[in-house]
Amino acid sequence: MSLEDQLAFDRENIWHPYTSLLDPLPVYPVESASGTRIRLADGRELIDGMSSWWAVIHGYNHPVLNRALLEQTQKAAHVMFGGLTHEPAVELARLLIQLTPAGLDKVFFSDSGSVAVEVALKMALQYQQSRGKASKNRFLSLKRGYHGDTFGAMSVCDPDTGMHRLFSGFLPQNLFAPAPECAFEHECTPECFHEIEELISTHRRKLAALILEPVVQGAGGMRIYSPKYLAGLRRLCTNYDILLIADEIATGFGRTGKMFACEHASISPDILCLGKALTGGYMSQAATLCTSEVAETICRGNPGVFMHGPTFMANPLACSVALASIGLLKDSNWKDRVLKIQEQLRSELAPADDLPDVRRVRTLGAIGVLEMESRVPTAGLQRMFVREGVWIRPFLNLIYIMPPYVIQPGDLSRLTSAMLKAAREIRNLL
Ligand code: PMP
């Protein structure tokens, strides 16, 4: 099929994320991707600022990850996980237990981030049922949070920016606390917790768990908040007998400058969700970890088993590439790299603070965000970025990047210059 025919077919028949089929946004055909470069079908090369939505932390087409996949393909691309097991799954689970915050030592593999969140919610519900507290069947989450697009996950996403209204008749009714307002450096005083503590205290008999994205709220607004706030919420959960679910699907594996964002606050959640960068962005696979207390309580109750089992659970290809990706991370100076990216983002994005259309500049680890005063014209900005030779995908009022950790300073400067140019010229594009 010619390229033109491919694009016409795509436009006519294939849904892209959150788009219309009657009036689709333009898409750019990719021929290949390697390192930090995405090569378009017309030969143009773009510097990747997105890590394909937090996932491709080592860059594209990485020889070590390619080899891991090829070698595993020759052994078994897939086997069911019901009644069978394999070394890549065992080794990966062992590594995740070692790497994640203390106390998380039981692992459930699943096939995507949203499903990992569904699994976490189910774990919390089965846990409360098994300990005779079946009425604890609601969740508390933070406004501006995002946890995925399946129904359970949607029900704990921000009720305004999420999709609640659209599916309101069907969605479970949960509770929402104000979005965290304390900036990263904020020490937090008892007042910071006043409202959320009152919510928890009032509803503790019906709350199974609090679910949150630690320190960085991603797709719900790219907001960064104080680790002290997170530590305070951990204490409240313990005091009021509700579980804490940390969704590190976006923040996990070094993105914020710590291996997991919970480490900024030196806390362990009761349940942890991982995905995205787990496989170095090679394929979809996720994991939900929990404490022995949660797992054993579930298994002592009725029906005595955890009720979930996806077809591609612990897919051997995904587990092998995840093992190789974590190996690469451990053998690299990832922390130095991420902190250098953070420094460069801070200094190069600082001038945006003075631009009239920029409300706020936010940076943490390998994440750089310009929050604009109003919604940005995605298609127009996208065209401008492609002309500048960079791949940056803005949404809502956010122009943001989270590049692969292997990005070189010169390439990072091209990304930040393009962001500044966009922020300066945004009025012409509206
Ligand atoms: N939780 C968070 C924090 C996420 O950022 C995402 C994906 N954007 C998800 C859950 C859902 O993951 P997936 O898209 O793999 O289902």
Would you say the CB of residue 215 lies under 6 angstroms from ligand 1?
no
Distance CA(365)–CA(349), nearest Å, equals: 14
Q: In what order do the strands lie in the sheet with 390-391?
A: 30-34, 37-40, 45-48, 390-391
Q: What total number of domains does the chain contain?
A: 2
SS3 34: strand
Residue 69: inside a domain: no
- At 40-66, the pLDDT tens digits run 999 999 999 999 999 999 999 999 999
pLDDT at 162 over 80: no
Distance CA(301)–CA(280), nearest Å, equals: 37
Pocket test for ligand 1, best of 52, 147, 157 (most atoms within 8 A of CB): 147
The 8-class DSSP code of residue 261 comes to G
Distance CA(291)–CA(286), nearest Å, equals: 17
Pocket test for ligand 1, best of 54, 146, 400 (most atoms within 8 A of CB): 146
Would you say the CB of residue 162 lies under 6 angstroms from ligand 1?
no
Final residue of a structural domain among 297, 331, 365: 331
Phi (first) and psi of residue 107, to 5 degrees: -125, 130
Among the listed residues 299, 255, 265, the one whose alpha carbon sits nearest the alpha carbon of residue 108: 299
Pocket test for ligand 1, best of 249, 260, 400 (most atoms within 8 A of CB): 249
Please check whether residues 52 and 137 belong to one and the same domain.
Answer: no
Residue 68: inside a domain: no
**For ligand 1, atom 12, which residue shows the shortest CA distance?**
113
Please check whether residues 300 and 385 belong to one and the same domain.
Answer: no
Q: Which residues contact 10 (CB under 8 A, 6 or more apart)?
A: 27
Please check whether residues 119 and 33 belong to one and the same domain.
Answer: no
Residue 262, both tokens: 């919970």
> From ligand 1's centre to the CA of 146, what distance in Å?
7
Please check whether residues 285 and 339 belong to one and the same domain.
Answer: no
Final residue of a structural domain among 315, 331, 347: 331
Would you say the CB of residue 250 lies under 6 angstroms from ligand 1?
yes
Would you say the CB of residue 112 lies under 6 angstroms from ligand 1?
yes
- CA dist list (Å): 135 to 95, 117, 128, 239, 282: 36, 21, 8, 18, 40
Please check whether residues 269 and 388 belong to one and the same domain.
Answer: no
Query: Looking at the whole model, is its pTM more than 0.85?
Result: yes
Query: For position 403, what pLDDT does the model report?
Result: 98
CATH number of the domain within which 295 lies: 3.40.640.10
Residue 266: inside a domain: yes
Please check whether residues 9 and 121 belong to one and the same domain.
Answer: no
- At 291-302, the pLDDT tens digits run 999 999 999 999
Please check whether residues 14 and 102 belong to one and the same domain.
Answer: no
Would you say the CB of residue 247 lies under 6 angstroms from ligand 1?
yes
Please check whether residues 120 and 180 belong to one and the same domain.
Answer: yes
| Residue listed under structure tokens 């049922």 | 129
Residue 344: inside a domain: yes
Residue 66: inside a domain: no
Would you say the CB of residue 116 lies under 6 angstroms from ligand 1?
no
CATH number of the domain within which 424 lies: 3.90.1150.10
Distance CA(31)–CA(39), nearest Å, equals: 6
Residue 288, both tokens: 């939900």
* Owning domain of residue 114: 75-331
Q: Which residues contact 262 (CB under 8 A, 6 or more apart)?
A: 101, 214, 230, 246, 248, 268, 269, 272
Residue 117: inside a domain: yes
Residue 205: inside a domain: yes
Q: Which helix (H) or strand (E) holds 413?
A: helix 409-429
Please check whether residues 316 and 350 belong to one and the same domain.
Answer: no
User: What's the first-to-final CA gap in the chain, in angstroms?
Assistant: 35
* Longest CA pairwise span in the chain (Å): 63
Would you say the CB of residue 147 lies under 6 angstroms from ligand 1?
yes
Among the listed residues 30, 37, 31, 71, the one whose alpha carbon sits nearest the alpha carbon of residue 51: 37
Q: Poorest-confidence range of 161-165, 173-177, 218-222?
A: 161-165
3-state secondary structure 42-79: CCCEEEECCHHHHCCCCCECCHHHHHHHHHHHHHCCCC
Active-site residue set: 18, 146, 247, 276
Among the listed residues 294, 240, 301, 304, the one whose alpha carbon sits nearest the alpha carbon of residue 272: 294
Final residue of a structural domain among 331, 357, 391: 331
> From ligand 1's centre to the CA of 3, what distance in Å?
31
Please check whether residues 35 and 50 belong to one and the same domain.
Answer: yes
Confidence of residue 429 (pLDDT cuts 50, 70, 90): confident
Residue 372: inside a domain: yes
- At 299-312, the pLDDT tens digits run 999 999 999 999 99
Mean pLDDT of 170-185: 95
> From ligand 1's centre to the CA of 214, what distance in Å?
13
Please check whether residues 81 and 39 belong to one and the same domain.
Answer: no
Please check whether residues 305 and 391 belong to one and the same domain.
Answer: no
